[in-house]
Amino acid sequence: MSEPLSNRTPYNYPSEHSKSATLYQRAMDVMPGGNTRTTVYMSPYPIYAQRGKGCYIYDVDGCERIDFINNYTSMIHGHCHPDIIAAAKAQLDLGTCFAMPTETEIPLAALLCERVASIEKVRFANSGTEAVMMAIKAARAFTMRPKIAKAEGAYHGSYDYVEVSEDSTPENWGDSEPNKVPYCAGTPAGAINDVVVYPYNNVALTEQILRAHAKDLAAILIDPLPPRAGLPPAQPEFLAMLRRVADECGIVLISDEVISFRVGYHGAQGEFGFKADLTALGKIIGGGFPVGAVGGRSDIMAVFDPSGGKSRVPHGGTFNANPMTMVAGLKAMQLMTRAEFDRINALGNQAREQLNDILKKAPFPASVVGRGSLLRLHMTREPVTDYRSSYQRPEQRAVLAKLFRLLLNNGIFMGPTGFMSISTPMTSAHIDELASAVRLAAMKIQ
């Protein structure tokens, strides 16, 4: 284990003469804004990673930080886990991808079917975005209806329909049924009109909205632990209502567990006690390689079946189920035993308890919410139950930005929005280091 924070010299953000700054100038010449992934952008320039080992990440200027973002939760085993690396290296000698299926995809599909009761058949893709997109297309083909319903503020990938009202503001929220607000410039009106937005965790109003649009709804999309909406757990009565309405109205219920699958051995459905018709997966099931998957009821998944001559939903993808991802993903999931889920979830509980104790004494309002190995830092002490209660005002964002920068300079790497995740190389000592860094940072913010 590396040297404790208390014995380290605090870092400074890389200077304009640093390797990170130099790389950013080169990137500016060939990429818009020097960036090809909005979520890793930082101002005035990003810190460039060089390598990772276990739960540590090292930048090009030689600074070491504990990685509490884990490539936005995908690296549940941290960096360079020897068993995953060995599996990938062995496959590398055999080939990386083919225009043929390989045996490697079958064991991972079988594992997912075994772990999630609602998954009877699986198809692989290359990202969580693709997984959600294909789940929606399957629901439309199965029901022959055009519209989907999604929660206000929830993120489900980069796809016109699921981006609607992803980052709406108090000025355009609406009063009863949430307003439908485009996320990207140029989003077609047709895409916006085919989306129904509901208020997360509001049982009565959501049921009213869903039933009013039921005859046109192909799918209800739900993330039971939505990160972009603040990471508030879905309430049991809310999930029960969604299941009941879906059954009574013939709507496909889709659980987006691209991130929330990591909260337990049987995924979010196992932890929250509900059953979806289709489930979108990604992140941890790829072992550090690009991955997505959609799985669910056999009768719905049959829309992808090409064996009768033509699929109702043709689904290609040059790198779907590529053997590099399949072998790495299988090894990663095999390593995630029940005991290992319990251990990292306990670390998540430790982190939330310690941080909340510290933040009660901070000179600014703040708290930490989440479930399992997922955490989200909020600049409020009020309960966070949905997107609106988690919404950060400008003054709150300013405090969070200061805290983020101070933590970077004290050896902690988390998401700029306060999002964090736990990886298996971590121990309670790493959580203590996180708590120590937050305590030191909070003292410097007035």
Which residues share a beta bridge with 53? 56
Strand pairing of 147-151 and 217-222?
Answer: parallel
pLDDT in tens, 73-98: 999 999 999 999 999 999 999 999 99
Tell me, what DSSP letter sits at residue 54?
B
pLDDT in tens, 15-41: 999 999 999 999 999 999 999 999 999
Region(s) of the chain under CATH 3.40.640.10: 82-335
Which residues share a beta bridge with 252? 219
% the chain with pLDDT above 70: 98
Burial (0-12, 13-18, 19+ Cβ within 10 Å), 166 = buried
Region(s) of the chain under CATH 3.90.1150.10: 48-76+338-443
Burial (0-12, 13-18, 19+ Cβ within 10 Å), 424 = buried
Is residue 289 within 8 Å of 320, Cβ to Cβ? no
pLDDT of residue 2: 57
- The CATH code that applies to domain 82-335 is 3.40.640.10
Helix (H, G, I), strand (E, B) or coil at 348: helix
pLDDT of residue 12: 83
What's the whole-number average pLDDT of the chain? 96
How far out from the chain centre does Cα 319 lie?
Answer: 21
Q: In CATH, which of 3.40.1670.10, 3.40.630.30, 3.90.1150.10, 3.30.1360.120 is domain 48-76+338-443?
A: 3.90.1150.10
pLDDT in tens, 160-169: 999 999 999 9
Q: Which residue has the tokens 């208390």?
A: 6
Helix (H, G, I), strand (E, B) or coil at 202: coil
With 60 as the cut, is the pLDDT of residue 4 above it? no
